[in-house]
Structure 1
Amino acid sequence: MNRVGARFARFGGVTPERPLPTPVRSFQSTFRAAAGGGERVLLFPDTFTNHFEPGIGVDAAAVLGHVGQGVEVPRSAVCCGLTWFSTGQLGVARGVIRRTARALRPWTRDGVPVVGLEPSCTAFLRSDALEVAGDDPDVVRLAESVRTFAEHVSPLLEPVEGDGRAVVQPHCHQYAELGFDADRELLAKTGVSPSVLEGCCGLAGNFGFERGHYEVSMAVGEQTLFPAVRSAGDAVTVADGFSCRTQVRHGSDVDPVHTATLVRRRLGI
């Protein structure tokens, strides 16, 4: 971490043991819709995918195109509002989700599915947003349009043969609100046998980055996640949550992937 980053981390209450993620050129700024189109689908550029791991968005778009979808991405800035909601800033969260829902109105009004890649953001858009701004018809329409990557892709994908293995860490929001059935089905269709872990990775959003929480965060990871990843052998480690992938990298030498990345690799596209 450079001097400026270290100073920001110190004043921001970030524990020195945690390297901060580095922003890169955004997915939105580089995305180009493929010629030929297909059935329209909107890929939601959540903050984590958009600014930190845009390659996941690229992989997701490639898979969606492979199954006949015409992928579109909004040009304006959008955010689900979870950051403000989880820190008790409900008024700000309400304003953020309403602004996002208005920006996505051209798609949701036409019944275009909205595919989320980050479980925490996807879950918020589909359920918590209704608690914050359920009186807004744009928010309601958005919530009804949202689906996970696996939910959207699995019914469209023809099975491929294979004998791959994966260790999968579902995000806590996935446990609580989204479920894993569609993901299990999608992995099976790509010839992957998943070993699905149970329990929190330990990072828990900003919790593991805050001073005073590092030891607890890593101890939680040692309960199930880290031992499973370290002993995975040739199995791929899959974690759709940005925080889960971050925790795996901080607690092991393994570089985990998103489901979209694994599926693209299995399809060879």
Structure 2
Amino acid sequence: MIPWLRDARTPLPDTRLALPAGSDAPGLLAAGGELTPERLTEAYSHGIFPWYSEGQPVLWWSPDPRMVLPVDEFKLSRSLRQTLRRFARDPACELRIDSDFAAVIGACAGTPREGQDGTWILPEMVQAYRRWHALGTVHSVETWIHGRLVGGLYGVCLGRMFFGESMFSHVTDASKIAVAGLVAFCRAHGITLIDCQQRTGHLASLGAREIPREQFETGLPPRLREPPVREWSYDRSMWALLDPGAPVQDRP
């Protein structure tokens, strides 16, 4: 049996108590509780995240291994490089941060995770992360073309650690452009690691890889102690941190 969080005062258990590989739910750590900013901060600070379906209580997870994207290992394929250069050059294309968080998380809620049916971002999760966004902890990275939001992602940032949550794409490569923009932003602000939670082929193609949970957790405290990023906006000059050949001139 996994522990039940009776109330807000019940601490999350040690992650070493999570169900092991080979079990019915590897990585499952606890159940119950509420998605308050305080509980979510406690969870993410220990590498724990909520993930559950309709009709279930809140389920808390700490998988082993952990999928992460080291910022300096981001894979910029030739085709993606060309896509980004066209995007950066076109005045109709913009990468924005926190321009329309509600629309981003709403679109992500309608996008199933890779290899799964249905959404896991339930209305109560949308409300919880929107509240957390209002407090300045959750952020969206957005791909805009001709004034239309066509792709993006959202995630949690504590200190200088970014925890990716979900992404969506309405046109080809829109989510990849958002990931690339996030990587460039992270490089500009000294964020060296992006948590991807669980393995997907899409993220692996961009350079994400699995590491032992213990290694992931060991790297959390020094990153969490770093001062938080204060300016959440995207400057087109950041593309050069990803691709030195990208155009960085101001738009007319």
Assess same fold via TM > 0.5: no
More strand by share: 2
- Report the TM-score, using the length of structure 1 for normalisation: 0.29
Task: Flag the structure with higher helix content.
Answer: 1
- TM-score under structure 2 normalisation? 0.30
